[in-house]
Chain A
């Protein structure tokens, strides 16, 4: 079992990086929502699933292709998220985290139940877009073009988000509003609207990840539920609310999981949680969290 060739190692690292990009995109959305809004968004997995379904329906009902869906689906689902924030989540502002968690958890169960009722559990097929079929032979492995695209695209989106929040004026407003909403309001900034938009953005990121994953996995009602717990672990390891933390840990844990799949596949579902437990013991605020 331990006679690893460098070839196999490279291949596993690359595969881990691909999975890591999904973790990063999803945990980034969670981190943005938690960091800026203090909401533990348990509906994130359901939103990711809706993103994939949205891409499926855009293609099969409206004949709208993958590339347009990549923009349209996050906008549509993000809009839905904003409606949700305005009508429900906003009422919980100022209450304990637990209320938001329970509300979003309940919503996730309802959404998944409805989708499962109509679409069953095996899911719907979504083909890889024509331009990205095939792949490159890298010598040590065959890299499907689509997977390469996923890594590059999600890395770009992650870094752009980090830049927008940490380095721009808008991001500064946002961070200030989290610290002291009353003061930011006094400067004439519409804080409630900013919060709604931020929630919409975080939700849109999850929907985007959903569209990206549609051609790789079946479009299934439970695709988000299977993933969300791992993603939460990623956020906890990275440090709740830390933008860069969620990106770095997302990719790092993807790679670590990939290596586990090679050396001890039986543990590949649990390795992330083992790491979580270890990190919490040593650094309770997560690797990148502020005390």
Chain B
């Protein structure tokens, strides 16, 4: 706490000479995401659109606010992400960084946001470290995390009899966190993990890894990866007859864009956890209709894009309540934590002291091709996980902010 107070004082001293008490209603938002790589359909252009829609829907312009937005591609590289966010904070005077898929980049940007005292609302990265060991007074983690995925999908699969697992894990911060969190859930529920193989990010061939998973005789092959990696693994598992021979796949992180791309024939029956689905209720449908109309490829929004929309809405609400922009990340995040979150996409929730936004999670199953009645009709809702069970209980969080 001591450091953040001194940083605060320093920032105040530097940033507020002269026109300190004039009402400053200028805001600059930066959307930093994978715009061109294997996660670009999960975030990418849709993230920028979601941010634009949030700015328009917030009604802030009518209240005299001027909101600018810039965006950039972090290419899934932590060093690129760090450079861009530094430049944004120093030269572009960005107040808040939004999006940031890919856990390794997300953790790196987390440090910059704290150092430069800007708001950092992550929607897209999975690692639960963002609100545990790596938590920061500048950071809010929206949408989902590995704890939710492990508890949603992992628990459901073990309870349905899938008590022995073998992991195919993406070899970086995200995959490792997901494997760790899911392993904890499996063992807590009486299952066991027989082994795992760590594959490099963005692998095109999974046959070698799948054969190892097959040889393990585990009932469940847990895919602790995402995007293109998950899709290739699912496709090749079916090709190598793995899914036909009694072993089942558990895709721990699956997005609607993945299901759309692979098709229902390949994905039917997969169970996974998300916090947003475009066809969940009237609120999500109304938003998604407006969204897909404006998308070039007419894609429905993913939960990551929805999270960017919702987090910017909440951010702007907080600024509006403060009356003027203090250009002080910690101050704005504290304000956001003091206000309940409420939007049509994620419903009611709150931001916990460790920066974790909590809202309900949903266990979905991919429909069979014959069950799908209209375009993008992909998911069946299996179970709803209440907000207070979906994320790490505060008592278990290792976030240093919680120790006063």
Chain A residues at the B interface, C-beta cutoff of 8 Å: 5, 7-8, 11-12, 15-16, 18-19, 116-125, 128, 135, 141-142, 144, 146-147, 216-218, 220, 222-223, 226-227, 258, 261-262, 265-266, 268-269
Residue from A119, A125, A135, A227 whose CB has the most chain B CB atoms within 10 Å: A125
What CA separation (Å) do A257 and B323 show in the bound complex?
59
Q: Is the CB of B204 within 8 A of A18?
A: no
Q: Can you sample 9 A-B contacts with CB below 8 Å?
A: A7-B215, A12-B211, A121-B40, A128-B239, A142-B242, A216-B235, A220-B228, A226-B202, A266-B171
What CA separation (Å) do A125 and B266 show in the bound complex?
10
- B227 is an interface residue with CB less than 8 A from chain A: yes
Q: Is the CB of A121 within 8 A of B39?
A: yes
What CA separation (Å) do A223 and B41 show in the bound complex?
15
Contacts of A226 in B (CB 8 A): 202, 204
What 7 additional pairs, Cβ within 8 angstroms, besides A118-B296, A120-B41, A125-B262?
Answer: A16-B208, A120-B257, A216-B236, A218-B231, A226-B202, A261-B209, A268-B203
Select one of A116, A123, A147, A261 contacting B261, CB under 8 A: A123
Q: Is the CB of B38 within 8 A of A121?
A: yes
- B200 is an interface residue with CB less than 8 A from chain A: yes
Select one of B38, B44, B241 contacting A142, CB under 8 A: B241
Q: Is the CB of A121 within 8 A of B37?
A: yes
Which chain B residues (190-225) contact chain A, with CB distance < 8 Å?
197-200, 202-205, 207-209, 211-212, 215
Which chain B residues (304-323) contact chain A, with CB distance < 8 Å?
none
In the complex with contacts A8-B215, A135-B241, A268-B200, A15-B227 CB distance below 8 A: no
Q: Is the CB of B241 within 8 A of A144?
A: yes
Q: Is the CB of B297 within 8 A of A12?
A: no
Q: Which chain A residue lies CB-closest to B297?
A: A120
- B131 is an interface residue with CB less than 8 A from chain A: no
Q: Which chain A residue lies CB-closest to B208?
A: A261
Q: Which chain B residue lies CB-closest to A259?
A: B208
Contacts of A125 in B (CB 8 A): 235, 261-263, 266
What is the total number of residues of chain B having a CB less than 8 Å from a CB of chain A?
43
What CA separation (Å) do A11 and B213 show in the bound complex?
13
- B36 is an interface residue with CB less than 8 A from chain A: yes
Contacts of A220 in B (CB 8 A): 228
- B145 is an interface residue with CB less than 8 A from chain A: no
Q: Is the CB of A15 within 8 A of B199?
A: no
Contacts of B240 in A (CB 8 A): 135, 142, 144
In the complex with contacts A11-B211, A218-B235, A122-B203 CB distance below 8 A: no
Contacts of A261 in B (CB 8 A): 199, 208-209
Q: Is the CB of B239 within 8 A of A12?
A: no
Q: Is the CB of A222 within 8 A of B203?
A: no
Q: Is the CB of A121 within 8 A of B212?
A: no
- B300 is an interface residue with CB less than 8 A from chain A: no
What CA separation (Å) do A63 and B263 show in the bound complex?
19
- B52 is an interface residue with CB less than 8 A from chain A: no
What CA separation (Å) do A217 and B260 show in the bound complex?
15
What CA separation (Å) do A125 and B369 show in the bound complex?
15
Select one of B211, B236, B257 contacting A141, CB under 8 A: B211
Which chain B residues (240-281) contact chain A, with CB distance < 8 Å?
240-242, 245, 257-258, 260-263, 266
Report the minimum CB–CB distance from B264 to chain A (whole Å).
10
Q: Is the CB of A144 within 8 A of B232?
A: no
What CA separation (Å) do A187 and B391 show in the bound complex?
79
In the complex with contacts A121-B228, A144-B241, A19-B203 CB distance below 8 A: no
Contacts of B203 in A (CB 8 A): 268-269
Q: Is the CB of A121 within 8 A of B204?
A: no
What CA separation (Å) do A152 and B183 show in the bound complex?
41
Report the minimum CB–CB distance from A96 to chain B (whole Å).
29
In the complex with contacts A15-B208, A18-B207, A122-B228 CB distance below 8 A: yes
Contacts of B36 in A (CB 8 A): 116, 121, 222
Contacts of A266 in B (CB 8 A): 171, 198, 200
- B299 is an interface residue with CB less than 8 A from chain A: yes
Report the minimum CB–CB distance from A23 to chain B (whole Å).
11
Report the minimum CB–CB distance from A173 to chain B (whole Å).
38
What CA separation (Å) do A141 and B262 show in the bound complex?
25
Select one of B41, B202, B209, B241 contacting A122, CB under 8 A: B41
What CA separation (Å) do A178 and B268 show in the bound complex?
55
Q: Which 5 A-B pairs have the closest CB atoms?
A: A261-B208, A122-B261, A121-B40, A269-B200, A122-B41
Report the minimum CB–CB distance from B388 to chain A (whole Å).
34
What CA separation (Å) do A123 and B39 show in the bound complex?
11
Contacts of B202 in A (CB 8 A): 226
What CA separation (Å) do A268 and B205 show in the bound complex?
11
Using an 8 Å CB-CB cutoff, how does the interface string of B149-181 with A read, 1 for contact, 0 for none? 000000000000000000000010000000000
Which chain B residues (36-79) contact chain A, with CB distance < 8 Å?
36-41, 44
Report the minimum CB–CB distance from B70 to chain A (whole Å).
20
Report the minimum CB–CB distance from A269 to chain B (whole Å).
4
Which chain B residues (121-158) contact chain A, with CB distance < 8 Å?
none
In the complex with contacts A135-B241, A265-B197, A227-B204 CB distance below 8 A: yes
Select one of B44, B209, B239 contacting A216, CB under 8 A: B239
Select one of B41, B205, B241, B266 contacting A121, CB under 8 A: B41
Report the minimum CB–CB distance from A190 to chain B (whole Å).
40
What CA separation (Å) do A50 and B235 show in the bound complex?
21
What CA separation (Å) do A268 and B198 show in the bound complex?
10
What CA separation (Å) do A219 and B386 show in the bound complex?
38
Q: Which chain A residue lies CB-closest to B201?
A: A269
Contacts of A120 in B (CB 8 A): 40-41, 44, 257, 261, 297, 299
Report the minimum CB–CB distance from A206 to chain B (whole Å).
16
What CA separation (Å) do A5 and B216 show in the bound complex?
12
What CA separation (Å) do A62 and B32 show in the bound complex?
39
Contacts of A223 in B (CB 8 A): 204
Contacts of B263 in A (CB 8 A): 125
Q: Is the CB of B208 within 8 A of A218?
A: no
Q: Which chain B residue lies CB-closest to A18?
A: B207
Report the minimum CB–CB distance from B77 to chain A (whole Å).
15
Contacts of B297 in A (CB 8 A): 118-120
What CA separation (Å) do A262 and B38 show in the bound complex?
24
Q: Which chain B residue lies CB-closest to A142?
A: B241
What CA separation (Å) do A88 and B200 show in the bound complex?
37
What CA separation (Å) do A213 and B240 show in the bound complex?
15
